[in-house]
Structure 1
Amino acid sequence: MTTINDLLRDKSSDIWTVGPDESVYDALQLMADKNIGAVLVMDSGRLVGLLSERDYARKLVLENRSSRETPVRDVMTQRVAYVSPSQEIEGCLALMTDKRFRHLPVMDNDKLVGLVSIGDLVKGVIADKEFMIEQLEQYITGQ
């Protein structure tokens, strides 16, 4: 089975972060510039939260707050689940589906090493299934 580490090897190593005191506007600008749906919130090298498009919509827009005046810390998700690089992607996909989130930080001994999205995991599962189908077809045809 494919692990998170396998996925990270095929992904860009860029991890986009913001500080908790930055404005939500600046975080959204980064997300728009990088075409991403979430950024990790780091404080002194420590993961303290995650800001997603969902956080913005539910905690800022619906409450009629200003993104230029609101710090990230006020709207970020503070309790962030994370996984280790050795975890298998299907288990991570189940976790994300069960808890209803789309981004999962990857930590290795308290060090941030990556971020995977539900799309990354789905691609990995599909690649695994395609490989298995190819192997079975070769076995059946004797090639």
Structure 2
Amino acid sequence: MLVSQILKTKGDAVFTATPNETLGALAALLNARRVGALVVLDNERVVGIVSERDVIRAVAEEGAAALSRPVGDVMTKDVIFAEPGDRVDQLLSRMTDRRIRHLPVCKDDRLVGIISIGDLVKSKIGEVEAEADGLRAYIAAG
């Protein structure tokens, strides 16, 4: 299965933040949107990604004062991207190796979606279940 197929089902909505927003505002947005990460944009250009883990680390290191820091200080700047034509197996491996849970999806340097490891696992489970159903039907007809 391809990323583009997952996005057709899931949708292409991406929640974003700016580098100047505070971690406190970001935490509220993560909670309100019920998501684990936001893509950080500066004039439509992806400049980072920030996750719940980033917020927790900052608070653990600095206490409540961290919530007034700008997102740009704690975001991951070296963003790893997915493309619509990437395969689920490729991305599961990439995300596992790098210990990341979210990948912005870009096409021609334009943000077109975001996928999580949960999206990929759900897709993989659906694929395996469909294959098992096919094998059961083949054996039953046999």
| Common fold by TM > 0.5 | yes
Name 1:58's counterpart in structure 2. Answer: 57
Distance in structure 2 (CA, Å) of the matches to 1:60 and 1:104: 24
Note if 1:37 corresponds to 2:44: no
Following TM superposition, the consecutive aligned residue runs of length 4 or more in structure 1 with deviations greater than 6 angstroms are none
Unpaired runs of at least 5, structure 1: none
2-structure distance, mates of 1:111, 1:25? 28
TM-score by length of 2: 0.95
Whole-Å separation in 2 of the counterparts to 1:67 and 1:34: 21
Look up the SS of the partner of 1:20 in the other structure. Answer: coil
Distance 1:122 1:68 in 2: 32
Deviation string 1:26-70 (CA, Å, 9 cap, x unpaired) is 111110001111100000100000110111111343233624420
Q: Give the % identical residues.
A: 37
2: distance between equivalents of 1:90 and 1:64? 39
Q: Is the 8 A contact 1:60 1:75 kept in 2?
A: no
Find the aligned partners of 1:139 and 1:68 in 2 and give their Cα distance: 58
- 2:75 is paired with a residue whose SS is coil
Q: Is the 8 A contact 2:82 2:91 kept in 1?
A: yes
Give yes or no for the alignment of 1:28 onto 2:27: yes
Unaligned runs of 5+ in 2: none
Residue 14 of structure 1 aligns with which residue? 13
Q: Does 1:76 align with 2:75?
A: yes
The AA in structure 1 aligned to 2:133 is E
* Number of aligned positions between the proteins: 142
